[in-house]
Amino acid sequence: MPRPTPEIGGDHQRLMRYWDRHARSYDREMRFFDRHLFGESRAWICAQASGEVLEVAIGTGLNLPLYADDVRLTGIEWSPAMLAIARDRANRLGRTVALQQADAQALPFDDASFDTVVCTLSLCAIPDDRRAVAEMTRVLRPGGRLLLLDHVASSAWPVRVLQRLLELVTVPLGGEHFLRRPLHHVRGEGFRLDHHRRVKLGVVECLVARRPSQP
Ligand SMILES: C[S@@+](CC[C@H](N)C(=O)[O-])C[C@H]1O[C@@H](n2cnc3c(N)ncnc32)[C@H](O)[C@@H]1O
């Protein structure tokens, strides 16, 4: 049985509204970054998904056309405006997907509900990324796979300096982080890495990790 959705409150409401305001321009802005920074990574990550799949912070649903036809897809997102665009896209694609408003830091699903959890370009924006990874772990079945794509702290220090400067603006404005490393949280949760790739001066990180069968 699904858990009740906890209320999203305080500063999180402000960040949610930030994404509401950016929903209309999001696809246009992402087209540039997908072309020049993330390349084929989205398509590659989504191609690894199978079975009962949860996409966390699904945004406008840019990944929807990239999943295999036989995956059973659920998507959560906290911005109603982003979610509305994802819903339209799913309808246009004729793709069945259970979409609901929820907070990635308190997922409204029972333990061990999914075979695959996907999260692309969102752990940089979720306020507590460690808690979000812990929640993704909780809802994954033992042996299930976590698929992550994000921009992270570069492996080159001059780029990290630029990222630090960028964060001075982007964190207070919209909660967008550039110096995070979700990999550390994934390791902390005891996952085994099946695949790990870091490109573009270490800024773009892609990983496929398996939740251990035994805790
Ligand atoms: C950069 S966008 C990425 C969207 C999509 N995953 C993609 O790959 O295009 C970040 C998304 O994370 C969502 N988000 C941030 N914090 C969240 C949270 N705590 N719970 C649910 N969604 C969240 C934002 O509303 C936004 O849609």
CA of 58 to the centre of ligand 1 (A): 6
Contact 193, 201 (CB under 8 A): no
* E-strand stretches of 172-211: 192-199, 204-210
Closest approach atom of ligand 1 to CA 82? 27
What is the chain's mean pLDDT, rounded? 95
Closest approach atom of ligand 1 to CA 16? 25
Q: Does ligand 1 come within 6 angstroms of the Cβ of 116?
A: no
- Tens digit of pLDDT for each residue in 83-122? 999 999 999 999 999 999 999 999 999 999 999 999 999 9
Using the predicted structure, report yes or no on whether residue 2 has a pLDDT greater than 70.
no
Which of 77, 105, 119, 133 most suits a substitution to test ligand 1, by most atoms within 8 Å of the C-beta? 77
pTM for the whole structure: 0.95
- Tens digit of pLDDT for each residue in 188-213? 999 999 999 999 999 999 999 999 88
Which of 8, 18, 19 most suits a substitution to test ligand 1, by most atoms within 8 Å of the C-beta? 19
Which of 78, 89, 105, 150 most suits a substitution to test ligand 1, by most atoms within 8 Å of the C-beta? 78
Cα Rg of the chain, angstroms: 16
pLDDT of the residue at 44:
96
Mean pLDDT within 12-28: 95
Q: Walk me through the domains of the chain, giving residue ranges and CATH numbers.
A: 11-210 (3.40.50.150)
In the structure, what pLDDT confidence band is assigned to residue 9 with cuts at 50, 70 and 90? low
The span from the CA of 32 to the CA of 29, in Å, is: 6
In the structure, what pLDDT confidence band is assigned to residue 11 with cuts at 50, 70 and 90? confident
Produce one character per residue of 76-110: b if its CB has 16 or more CB atoms within 10 Å, e if not. Answer: bbbbebbbebbbebbeeeeeebebeebbbbbbbbe
Using the predicted structure, report yes or no on whether residue 81 has a pLDDT greater than 90.
yes
Range in 4-8, 9-13, 39-43, 199-203 with the lowest mean pLDDT: 4-8
Q: Does ligand 1 come within 6 angstroms of the Cβ of 41?
A: no
